Amino acid sequence: MERLIVRPDKLDLESKGRRDYYVALEHDSIWGDHLIPLTVMVGPKAEPGKGLVAFGSNHGNEYEGPVAIRHLMRDIDVESVDGRIILVPVLNVAAFKAGTRDSTLDDRVNLNRAFVDGAGRPPLGGITHRIADFVRRFIWPQVHVVIDLHAGGLVGQFALCTSFHPLDDPEQHRLVEETARWFGTPLVITYQNETPGLLPSEAERLGKITVGTELGFGCSVNPDGVRYARQGVRAAAIRHGVMRGSIAPIGHHADGSQRMASMVDRACFTVAPFAGHYEPVRKCGELVREGDLVGYLHDFDRIDLDPWEVRAGVEGVIVSQAWSAPTLQGQHIVVVGRLSG
């Protein structure tokens, strides 16, 4: 199937049928373009402003999302699509090419901090901010459901989870939680919404049904993470009316073992007081009490000192720990979520 190279203003996200594109955004250093792969499927009942978008590779070294969406591009039959489905396996192509969290070969910006005022215009005119501007101007007006597939990369290891922020609108909160549960992950978490420039935060503020994930870590491809992602996107498409079909719960959603956890307040985060090397002694997903030992932080410059004991700040479940042994001062090396259901 031909994949057309087009500028954003030449995208057709409204006509019936399937179209495969590379969206061309000008490269900042070579005489060429960054090419964002995008597939759109539009059915006979598509409505203005209604549809689903699934993004992979918001960060460039998180791979479950790109792999899962690549499968979905082949799995989903356009004949089963009633509304609008937009699949973007690699959103941050600059970071993906570098194999790093941020766009290190270009403007060194983190796309998931780039949804800020003025993104896409000088002085915020680099490729990463222009990707954010592309999403704002061309994707948001076409969808009401947003799936942003993440993993821990080299930052942290995670208990596999879906995620969203606490929402003031009870109906939006209900729909988001229901959508998040259908992925089948062991955990569904709510997390703090104080970090500026997040893609999910903007989508939520616009009233969209928005689900994030952490589906692996270590720059690998977790098979369970891929399975949960494929399930979650399909379930969201079916249950929000953009695709026909039936789907059964899987994993922890199916057997009733799925847990809800909240990591909103600062007590959930254990911060490294110095740079060192982290040794975990408990696993992500384990239940802990406040003050329980979770790991040790070693200072090899002061080899004769006892390691610093890393303890849980609250009672709950270990959501995340540092993945790489070398740990920076100030890094959140353990995150514990308070169980809420």
Residue range 322-332, pLDDT digits in tens: 999 999 999 99
The one-letter amino acid code at 167 reads L
pLDDT of 1 above 70? no
Confidence of residue 290 (pLDDT cuts 50, 70, 90): very high
Among 91, 235, 108, 202, which residue's Cα sits nearest to residue 150?
Answer: 91
Q: What is the pTM of this model?
A: 0.96
The model's pLDDT over 205-219, given as tens digits with 9 standing for 90+, comes to 999 999 999 999 999
141 prior amide bond cis, ω within 30: no
Q: Where are the domains of the chain?
A: 4-262, 266-339
The predicted structure's pLDDT at residue 326:
96
The predicted structure's pLDDT at residue 341:
72
Please give the CATH number for the structural domain made up of 4-262.
Answer: 3.40.630.10
The model's pLDDT over 23-82, given as tens digits with 9 standing for 90+, comes to 999 998 888 999 999 999 999 999 999 999 999 999 999 999 999 999 999 999 999 999
Fold of 266-339: OB fold (Dihydrolipoamide Acetyltransferase, E2P) (2.40.50)
Confidence of residue 192 (pLDDT cuts 50, 70, 90): confident
The predicted structure's pLDDT at residue 159:
97
The predicted structure's pLDDT at residue 313:
97
Tell me how far apart the alpha carbons of residues 329 and 268 are, in angstroms, rounded to a whole number: 17
Q: In terms of pLDDT, which residue wins out, 34 or 340?
A: 34
The predicted structure's pLDDT at residue 28:
84
Would you tell me how many other CB atoms lie within 10 Å of the CB of residue 302?
10
Q: Which helix (H) or strand (E) holds 233?
A: helix 223-239
The predicted structure's pLDDT at residue 250:
98
* Mean pLDDT value across the chain: 96
The predicted structure's pLDDT at residue 30:
85
